[in-house]
Amino acid sequence: MLISDRLRNIRPSGVRRIFDLARQMKDPINLSIGEPDFDIPEPLKEEGIAWIKKGFNKYTPTQGIPELREKIASHLRKKGVHFEEVMVTAGVTGGLLLASLALIDPGDEVILPDPFFVMYEYQILLMGGVPVFVDTYPDFRLRGKEFVRKLSKKTKLIIINSPNNPSGAIYPKEDLMGVVRIARERNLLILSDDIYDDFVFDAPSCPCIGQFYENTLTLGGFSKSWGMTGWRLGYAAGPKGILQEMITLQQYTFSSVNSFAQKAAIKALDFNVKDYIEAYKKKRDLVYHGLKERFHVQKPQGAFYIFPEVPGGNAEAFVEKAIRQNLFIVPGSVFSKRNTHVRISFAASDETLQKGIETLRRIS
Ligand code: PLP
């Protein structure tokens, strides 16, 4: 057989039909997109261009340029995150892949609070690992008892993503502390995906697990806060032994990451995104108030997604109905073992959001 056994666990998504339907849409009201609708701030673009013109276009050190690594380290120190070593990665996606390769053996179990960012499940499966889901519905809270029930001798890792894609939930400190207690007792590693850590609407900042637990591998990035999705830049920080392995793996996979984006990222970490977050908070309010009377829905506290339950309880059927009305949203079954909710991205213009809300209210 030409194709590797590894890919046997990777099956085409069950919602392919929906994505096929969506592809045929002409000029849809598109609330499916997982990236900011703002462009990279002008001064950061200029910084990138300046470094291209200066000829900073070659391979860089595998672990990232020292001045960016130092900048990320000081950013994390200010946040109070525990780590021993930092590396620059090709987005959080790149960091996740290196972490999965470094940590997951066939048969290892990885605990994922459900709903979850879809890439986790597939990267675990790609390594021959077993994703083990901990239900967080209906309020998207982490319940220690549920975690304990799902632990086994094979549990290797817990993945936490807060603010969360797709629910928009920020797990409260007490929930995170509950998970830390469980991990500490069993000496388990936690991977914390903090990519949305600037998108916090009702508090000055959000708690992250790396602040409370030394055995945390923190992943973060530049895609969301500074709209740099296409520049492919992120970082990983955590225990030295793990980071050293990830750096070795990067050498033989990505080799190094985008040169000029690393220079611009140094500036990005000093570029305040408060105005963007304020604008997204208004979008959050617009969508939440537009939907709350017709849907069971939690108010998102972060990221840029809202995750209502659909009337009738069949998300895929609801999305097909929405597509027929020219609205594209994503069924929760992409991010969950349940097919009861839909993910709506509010990273869109107010005009598009307004049209989306009207359509959703009409078909609810
Ligand atoms: N982690 C989460 C939770 C995400 O939602 C995304 C993108 O949607 C990523 C990671 C990927 O980020 P990057 O662009 O840094 O690879």
DSSP letter (8 states) at residue 203: S
Answer yes or no: same fold for 5-40+273-363 and 56-268. no
Residues facing 309 on adjacent strands: 296, 341
Q: Which CATH architecture has domain 56-268?
A: 3-Layer(aba) Sandwich (3.40)
pLDDT band at 14 (very low <50, low <70, confident <90, very high): low
Question: Is pLDDT of 73 > 90?
Answer: yes
Please give the distance, rounded to the nearest whole angstrom, from the Cα atom of residue 191 to the centre of ligand 1.
14
Mean of the per-residue pLDDT values of the chain: 96
- Give domain 5-40+273-363's CATH superfamily: Aspartate Aminotransferase, domain 1 (3.90.1150.10)
Give the domain ranges of the chain.
5-40+273-363, 56-268
Please give the distance, rounded to the nearest whole angstrom, from the Cα atom of residue 180 to the centre of ligand 1.
23
pTM higher than 0.95 for the full model? yes
The 10 Å Cβ neighbour count of residue 108 is 16
Q: What is the pLDDT of residues 323-357, one digit of tens each?
A: 999 999 999 999 999 999 999 999 999 999 999 99
Q: Which long-range contacts (CB under 8 A, 24 or more apart) does 179-182 make?
A: 179/142, 179/144, 179/147, 179/209, 180/209, 180/212, 180/213, 181/144, 182/144, 182/147, 182/148, 182/151
3-class SS letters over 328-340: ECEEHHHCCCCCC
Q: How far, CA to CA in Å, does 260 sit from each of 44, 73, 186, 233?
A: 10, 19, 42, 10
Q: Determine the atom of ligand 1 nearest the C-alpha atom of 34.
A: 8
Is the minimum distance from the CB of 326 to ligand 1 under 6 angstroms?
Answer: no
Q: Report, as an integer, the average pLDDT of 315-324.
A: 95
Question: Is pLDDT of 154 > 90?
Answer: yes
Is the minimum distance from the CB of 32 to ligand 1 under 6 angstroms?
Answer: no
- State the alpha helices, DSSP H only, in 138-268: 144-150, 173-186, 240-252, 259-268
